A and B are shown apart, each in its own frame.
Chain A
Amino acid sequence: MGELKTIAKSDPAFSSYLLGTFSKDDRAISVKSLNVATAAETVTFEIIPLAEIKAPFFLRKWALTLKIKNYFLLYFPMFLIISKNLMDNVPFDPRLALWSLLAATFLFAAMNLRNDFRDHLSGLDRIHPDSGSRAIQKGWITAHQAKNLSTAFAVLGIACALPAVIGLPELLLVIGVIALLAIFGLSVYPHGLKYRLWTEGFAFLLLGPLLTVGFQMAIGAPFDLESVFLGIITGWLAVYIVHLKNFEAIMVNNQAGFTNSVGIMGFEKGKRLMAVWWISLLVLIDVYHWIYNSLFWTVSFIVISLALSWALLKYLRTLTSPVASTFKIALDRCRQLGIFMIYLWILENISYLLVIELASR
């Protein structure tokens, strides 16, 4: 057990403890609280020597800190755009594709770290059991390091995006829309957008149409409606994941007064919202396949959609209490269903690309 220290926000030393800059040899770990609705005028830290901080091995630590498991939300839409262009023989610049991929990766990492930093500053990570990577909470990195890394990744992201922006200045429009949304959102919710209604719309646009259309343009391919359609699907999928996350935290969010769709609708109607959201996601995927892909895959997706929907409804039926052990398990399974659909789609596109490659030989 380390030494405990409570510091008021008005104390000049407060920010150095919160940022972790107060010492080179110690970490100030803020103590978690079960009292979500209390105005936190003071923060209690446990001072732990750096040598006593337990962190996993290097790669795992950074995979967890950067939330690598969420990168599928970024790479999957980009993969769909690339494979669509390859299948349709639409010309694009592979070098720009690589730069854009790097830019998006760095900017996504910057956003994740900035989120953790903001959560730490606002106190969200002290009351929310599963908020963010918890890398700062566990002492793996300080808030100051998270902020600096975030800035560095943002700079790298912008630098990598430059070749595409110089080649196609219209991209600034997409970047401008994203920036405007972020600025407006943060002006409404100065303590962060997480778990708020705003996040749902933001996630839809950012990981949906803005990403797919922006990426399509960035790699030098012409604008097309198929990219918009793909964006709607991937955005819808991102919001499905957000709904699951909000449902998992329904109790804490409710106590803390955070408003999002699941929270507004309540437990039972929230379950229905997720079912409707999932089924409409599958309908969108099936309609996309019907319009753009082969009959074999369209039928396959419809059959699999029906089976997965049955599974999802079964899992949702087991949700009875936010504190039950089955709660997290069922929501994890709902998330895995979404990931299964992604794998299936990737498999489909790879099979198309293989067929095209074999045919060309």
Chain B
Amino acid sequence: MRATETKTLPENRETPAGGSLKIYNPKDFPAYLPKLNQLFDDLFSGGKGFRAKLIQMMATELGLEQRCERLLAQTIEFIHNASLLHDDLIDGSPLRRGKTAAWRAYTPEYAVLAGDYLLARVMVNLSSYGNIRLVQYTSEVISDLLEGEWLQDSLVGDFDIDLSQLDRVHNLKTASLFKWCLRAPFLAISRNEPSLHTILEEMGTLLGQLFQRGDDLLDFNVRNDEGKAVMGDLQAGYLNSFGVFAAKESDRTQLKTCKTLTQFYHCVGGETIFWKKVSDFDEQNKFLIQLYRHHVTNLEKYLLPEEKHLLKKLEPLTDILYWRKSERRG
């Protein structure tokens, strides 16, 4: 029976499509619910699995046992994918990872239930590990994520929003998962010092903010090597962080009719000004990168000698998340 199967950690395997620790084992889901399994098969194929890789990196350097590493990687992927299921439905996004989004391929009801199911699995699997602090923290992160989702929905059609308000939403919605990736491996080995977690929390916040801002730039076709759809946010009525920054001195009412990049250039005063704004935005974010690196340096005193290699792995993350340099190049 399903319930007894999950008392121990599932035997996860690496997904060939992801080529990473983005773990999904069909046995982890009830065999008598074929549609749910089919939905998860679709959902878990593709994607970069960045968060799971981050867990893998942390786990390796902290010497976590493989069972724990898999549990954490699975947890973050389940939470992330649950949020995507809900997110696509809320945003009305027709595509996810180049395929029809779950709510359209199945039904909105199935998408909601599948997302809820993943979050429930997270709690079942994590609680079987027996670290109550980790379970509590994970629950907090899930509630932060949902709060962020809730708040972000209230911003659709709001073109007068300011960056500090958006940062608060992104801290809940995006950064919470990065914070979890950094803090959970330490909690899993009962390294609970408040000072250590303050630093990790700040680092996660900065990574989340930088990732979100980098992602928002892709929407305006800046450093968009991954070929993300352009102007999707504005077309959906959502002014993202770069949009807010670039349109700071512009007539915001014009943004409502902005559907193409050319129209956006016009809104902010021309293409030259647009690129100047990109440069200013980068300059502002360089402070966040500097702050992140400063925290990485400070992390050193909390690490054991054999863990210090972690610092070299953590430092270049901003290159990947904000500057969108490929991991190989990075």
Contacts and interface: CB of A to CB of B under 8 A. Distances in A.
Interface stretch (A35-43, A133-141, A288-296): A35-43
Contacts of B294: 4, 6, 44
A129 B199 CA distance: 20
Interface string B134-163: 000000000000000001001100111110
Contacts of A31: 291
A255 to B, nearest CB: 9
A324 interface: yes
A33 interface: yes
Nearest to B283: A1
B160 A41 contact: no
Contacts of A8: 195
Interface stretch (A167-175, A188-196, A315-323): A315-323
A323 B195 contact: no
B88 interface: no
Given A323-B155, A324-B158, A42 B291 contact: no
B286 A1 contact: yes
A359 interface: no
Nearest to B164: A129
A302 B197 CA distance: 57
Contacts of B202: 33, 35, 38, 44
A326 interface: yes
A323 B168 contact: yes
A282 B151 CA distance: 34
B290 A41 contact: no
A360 interface: no
B233 interface: no
Given A1-B286, A4-B290, A31-B291, A323 B198 contact: no
Contacts of A6: 199, 294-295, 298
B199 A42 contact: yes
Contacts of A256: none
Chain A interface, >50% SS class: loop
Contacts of B194: 39, 41
A228 interface: no
B195 A321 contact: no
A194 to B, nearest CB: 19
Nearest to B153: A321
Contact of B195 (A1, A42, A326): A42
B100 interface: no
Interface string A1-36: 100101010000000000000000000000101110
A321 B154 contact: yes
B158 A325 contact: yes
B290 A323 contact: no
Contacts of A322: 151
B154 A324 contact: yes
Contact of A326 (B151, B160, B201, B205): B160
| Interface core residue of B169, B197, B198, B199 (most chain A CB under 10 Å) | B198
Contacts of B158: 324-326
B160 A321 contact: no
Nearest to A34: B171
Nearest to B290: A1
Contact of B205 (A34, A41, A320, A325): A34
B133 to A, nearest CB: 14
B42 interface: no
Contacts of A251: 168
A321 B165 CA distance: 11
B154 A323 contact: yes
B116 interface: no
B291 A323 contact: no
Contacts of B271: none
B198 A40 contact: yes
B32 interface: no
B25 to A, nearest CB: 34
Interface string B80-124: 000000000000000000000000000000000000000000000
A38 B201 contact: yes
Interface string A294-328: 00000000000000000000000000111111100
B319 interface: no
B198 A38 contact: yes
Contacts of A324: 154-155, 158, 161, 165
Interface in B172-215: 175, 194-195, 197-199, 201-202, 205
Interface in A39-54: 39-42, 44
B114 to A, nearest CB: 27
A38 B199 CA distance: 10
B141 to A, nearest CB: 12
B168 A42 contact: no
A18 to B, nearest CB: 16
B282 interface: no
Nearest to A322: B151
Interface in B262-305: 286-287, 290-291, 294-295, 298
B273 to A, nearest CB: 23
B195 A325 contact: no
Nearest to B293: A4
A325 B161 contact: yes
Contacts of A4: 290-291, 294
B167 interface: yes
B197 A323 contact: no
Contact of B291 (A35, A40, A44, A321): A44
Given A34-B168, A323-B166, A325-B160, 17 more contacts: A1-B286, A6-B294, A6-B295, A33-B202, A34-B171, A34-B175, A34-B205, A35-B202, A39-B198, A42-B198, A44-B294, A129-B164, A322-B151, A324-B154, A325-B161, A325-B165, A326-B160
Interface of A: 1, 4, 6, 8, 31, 33-35, 38-42, 44, 129, 251, 320-326
Q: Report, nearest first, the 8 A-B pairs whose CB atoms are least far apart.
A: A321-B154, A325-B160, A4-B294, A34-B171, A41-B195, A323-B165, A39-B194, A325-B161
12 contacts: A4-B294, A6-B295, A34-B171, A35-B171, A35-B201, A35-B205, A42-B199, A251-B168, A320-B154, A323-B161, A325-B160, A325-B165
